[in-house]
């Protein structure tokens, strides 16, 4: 299949530029598009054949449900069988934006979209390209992240081309995703709202609207030996992994740098190249290996925005092992570490307790 590439400038576009992609969505075709979190692979949420094609293009297990993307809050009443007040309060506070809500699904939503579940995930994205595409298509757009299953999510059209060229109908190139990590997912179907996936909207922000909110235990998992099954089906799969094994090194900054430098020397002696995921503040302290700067420690948002791109970059370098610095336990750090831990298969090297990095 030939994949059409459509470039749209998110700061300056006309609606006509969307007519081809919107028409494709209506015809049951697949269109990758930018959102403020990551790129999504869109298809008609009410068309079982379109969802089947999404699963096939991504190589995604069919029990892993898709998020339904909407353009108007009024869609909640059509997609959910019950809409609690808390959902409207969250929509008011955070939509359009990087928040996904899980609600009980209405009969209109096919189980092919929800991975067989009786609940549905709903999000209204803020990126103007995403919002305009969904509105002009006139349909509800099921869209998982537009990456091949298991690989890091895509934050640029180039990433989508790498993973999905020839497998989908259209890729809209709207530039880099501003946030770079997938939406926060909150499940509103239980007694207490539960965060199934941490993201840019923090637990603290949600608590301001909801009162009480808890994390699904699996979100806070820090080691491979903790055998907790995630409530979001997709969170249980190996994800985000670069091709080479990845280790997160925790400890005081100088010790982390010393450890990684020593490993790079050892590996070089054996003819192996070491990949290093570093930051603006530390990158010059590495004396060997192939160093990639993910962002600035002082600016957690820059780390979120650069994470998936950096993880992907290692794949073209031939490194045989990757060491990453660890990130602070602040609200956005929780989301960053959640993705990094998955990418590393929970392999952490702890140099000492009470670490500062
Ligand atoms: O930011 C995002 O959310 C991006 C953009 C494209 O909107 N989308 C995204 O979709 O990350 P995906 O499919 O890669 O991740 C969706 C996650 C998966 O972990 C899935 O298991 C979970 O949401 N999920 C979807 N429906 C669910 C449901 N009914 N109950 C529990 N988890 C659900
Ligand atoms: Mg995904």
Q: Is 66 in the pocket of ligand 1 (CB under 6 A)?
A: yes
Cα separation, 357 vs 341, whole angstroms:
15
pLDDT on residue 235: 67
Task: List the one residue out of 113, 157, 165, 159 whose CA is nearest residue 139.
Answer: 113
pLDDT band (50, 70, 90) for residue 239: confident
pLDDT on residue 352: 72
Q: Is 117 in the pocket of ligand 1 (CB under 6 A)?
A: yes
| 345 CA to centre of ligand 1 in angstroms | 20
Q: Is residue 231 part of a domain?
A: no
Q: Is 232 in the pocket of ligand 1 (CB under 6 A)?
A: yes
Q: What is the pLDDT of residues 12-69, one digit of tens each?
A: 999 999 999 999 999 999 999 999 999 999 999 999 999 999 999 999 998 999 999 9
pTM for this entry: 0.96
pLDDT on residue 230: 76
Task: Please indicate, yes or no, whether residues 147 and 284 belong to a single structural domain of this protein.
Answer: no
Greater confidence (141 vs 221) lies with 141
Atom of ligand 1 nearest to the CA of 183: 1
Range of the domain at 324: 246-356
Q: Is 195 in the pocket of ligand 1 (CB under 6 A)?
A: no
| 178 CA to centre of ligand 2 in angstroms | 17
pLDDT on residue 353: 58
Greater confidence (237 vs 120) lies with 120
Q: What is the pLDDT of residues 254-308, one digit of tens each?
A: 999 999 999 999 999 999 999 999 999 999 999 999 999 999 999 999 999 999 9
Task: Please indicate, yes or no, whether residues 132 and 272 belong to a single structural domain of this protein.
Answer: no
Tally the domains of the chain: 2
Q: Residue 236 pLDDT more than 70?
A: no
Last residue of a domain, one of 185, 220, 255: 220
Q: Is residue 232 part of a domain?
A: no
Q: Is residue 235 part of a domain?
A: no
Q: Is 114 in the pocket of ligand 1 (CB under 6 A)?
A: yes
Q: Residue 356 pLDDT more than 80?
A: no
| 9 CA to centre of ligand 1 in angstroms | 26
pLDDT on residue 138: 98
Q: Is residue 182 part of a domain?
A: yes
Cα separation, 296 vs 302, whole angstroms:
6
Task: Please indicate, yes or no, whether residues 19 and 129 belong to a single structural domain of this protein.
Answer: yes
Q: Is residue 228 part of a domain?
A: no
Task: Tell me what the mean pLDDT of segment 90-106 comes to.
Answer: 98
Atom of ligand 1 nearest to the CA of 233: 21
Ligand showing the shortest atom-to-Cα distance for residue 233? 1
Closest residue by CA, ligand 1 atom 3 = 183
Please tell me which of 218-232, 237-251, 264-278 the model is most confident about, judged by mean pLDDT.
264-278
Task: Please indicate, yes or no, whether residues 53 and 185 belong to a single structural domain of this protein.
Answer: yes
pLDDT band (50, 70, 90) for residue 214: very high
| b/e per residue 247-256 (b: at least 16 CB within 10 A) | bbbbbebebb
Q: Is residue 252 part of a domain?
A: yes
Residue 352 CA: distances (Å) to CA of 84, 330, 345:
46, 20, 20
Q: Is 43 in the pocket of ligand 1 (CB under 6 A)?
A: no
Last residue of a domain, one of 177, 203, 220: 220
| 240 CA to centre of ligand 1 in angstroms | 14
Task: Please indicate, yes or no, whether residues 12 and 141 belong to a single structural domain of this protein.
Answer: yes
Please, what is the average pLDDT of the chain?
A: 95
Q: Is residue 230 part of a domain?
A: no
Task: Please indicate, yes or no, whether residues 215 and 251 belong to a single structural domain of this protein.
Answer: no
Closest residue by CA, ligand 1 atom 33 = 232
Closest residue by CA, ligand 1 atom 13 = 144
pLDDT on residue 222: 78
What H or E segment, with its residue span, contains residue 52? helix 48-58
Residue 198 belongs to domain with CATH number: 3.90.870.10
| 27 CA to centre of ligand 2 in angstroms | 24
Residue 264 belongs to domain with CATH number: 3.40.50.11030
Task: Tell me what the mean pLDDT of segment 160-189 comes to.
Answer: 98
Instruction: Please state the three-class secondary structure of 224-288 as a single string.
Output: CCCCCCCCCHHHHCCCCCCCCCEEEEECCHHHHHHHHHHHHHHHHHCCCCEEEEECCCCHHHCCC
| 101 CA to centre of ligand 1 in angstroms | 10
* % of residues, the chain, pLDDT over 70: 97
pLDDT on residue 4: 98
Q: Is residue 254 part of a domain?
A: yes
Task: Tell me what the mean pLDDT of segment 242-263 comes to.
Answer: 96
From 37, 51, 71, 233, mutation site for ligand 1 pocket: most ligand atoms within 8 A of C-beta = 233
pLDDT band (50, 70, 90) for residue 171: very high
Atom of ligand 1 nearest to the CA of 39: 6
Task: Please indicate, yes or no, whether residues 325 and 179 belong to a single structural domain of this protein.
Answer: no
Cα separation, 245 vs 314, whole angstroms:
11
Closest residue by CA, ligand 1 atom 10 = 144
Helix axes 300-313, 157-164, angle to 10 degrees: 30
Q: What is the pLDDT of residues 147-159, one digit of tens each?
A: 999 999 999 999 9
């Amino acid at each position: 299949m030939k994949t059409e590439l459509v470039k749209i400038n998110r700061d300056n576009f006309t609606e006509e530029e969307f007519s081809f992609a919107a028409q494709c969505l209506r015809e049951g075709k697949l269109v990758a598009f930018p959102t403020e979190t990551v790129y999504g692979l869109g298809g008609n949420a009410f068309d079982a054949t379109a969802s089947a094609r999404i699963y096939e293009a991504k190589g995604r297990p069919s029990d892993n449900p898709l998020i339904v993307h909407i353009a108007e809050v009024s869609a909640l009443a059509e997609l959910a069988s019950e809409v609690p007040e808390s959902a409207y309060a969250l929509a008011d506070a955070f939509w359009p934006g990087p928040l996904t809500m899980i609600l009980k699904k209405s009969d209109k939503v096919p189980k092919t979209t929800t991975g067989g579940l009786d609940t549905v995930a709903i999000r209204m994205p803020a990126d103007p390209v995403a919002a305009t595409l969904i509105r002009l298509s006139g349909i509800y757009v099921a869209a998982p992240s537009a990456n091949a299953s298991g690989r890091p999510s895509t934050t640029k059209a180039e990433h989508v081309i790498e993973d999905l060229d020839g497998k989908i109908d259209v890729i809209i190139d709207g530039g880099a995703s501003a946030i770079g990590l997938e939406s926060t997912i909150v499940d509103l179907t239980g007694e207490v709202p539960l965060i199934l996936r941490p993201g840019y909207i923090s637990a603290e922000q949600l608590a301001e609207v909801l009162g009480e909110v808890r994390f699904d235990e699996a979100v806070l998992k820090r080691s491979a030996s903790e055998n907790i099954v995630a409530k979001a089906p997709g969170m249980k799969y190996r994800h985000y992994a670069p091709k080479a094994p990845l280790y997160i090194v925790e400890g005081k900054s100088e010790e982390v740098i010393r450890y990684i430098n020593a490993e790079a020397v050892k590996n070089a002696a054996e003819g192996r190249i070491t990949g290093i995921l570093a930051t603006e503040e530390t990158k010059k302290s590495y004396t060997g290996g192939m160093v990639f700067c993910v962002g600035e420690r002082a600016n957690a948002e820059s780390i979120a925005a650069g994470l998936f791109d950096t993880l992907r970059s290692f794949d073209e370098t031939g490194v045989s092992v990757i060491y990453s610095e660890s990130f602070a336990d602040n609200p956005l750090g929780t989301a960053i570490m959640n993705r990094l831990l998955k990418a590393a298969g929970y392999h952490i090297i702890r140099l000492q307790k009470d670490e500062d990095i």
